[in-house]
Amino acid sequence: MAHDPECIFCKIDRGEIPSEKLYEDDKVFVIADINPAAPVHLLIIPHEHTPTLLDLEDDQHDIIGHVFKVAAKLAKQKQVAEQGFKVLHNVNHWGGQRVFHIHFHLLGGRKFGE
C-alpha cells in the first residue's frame, strides 16, 4: 500500500498523528473532520495515497463505489440517513481541495441548500 511520508492523512493512517478512527476496513478509514461544517462531518479516506481523483489508475476506480457504500453505512449509524446527508469530494485548489490525498466528506445533521 502506497503512502506519502509527508501526507497528514498517511501519517494518521500509520499512527504517527493521533486520531480516533471511527471506522476502518482494508480499503478506507474514517475520522471526524477537525473543522466540522455540520453536526456530523466525517472524512472517508482511502488507505492508499492518491493525490487527486484525477490521479486514480484504472484499477483503482472501485474505491469510489466502496466509499459510497461506507458513507451509506455510516449515515445510517449516525442517524442522518433518513433526513438526508451529503457526500462531497473536492478536486485541486480551485475545487477546494486542501489535503492532496483523495478523501470524501460525509455531512449530515442539518438542512442543506435552500
Catalytic residues: 103
- As a whole number of angstroms, the distance between CA 63 and CA 99 comes to 18
**Percent of the chain as helix, strand, coil, to the nearest 5:** 30, 20, 50
- Return the SS3 of 31: strand
Q: Hey, CA dihedral for 81, 62, 88, 14, is it positive or negative?
A: positive
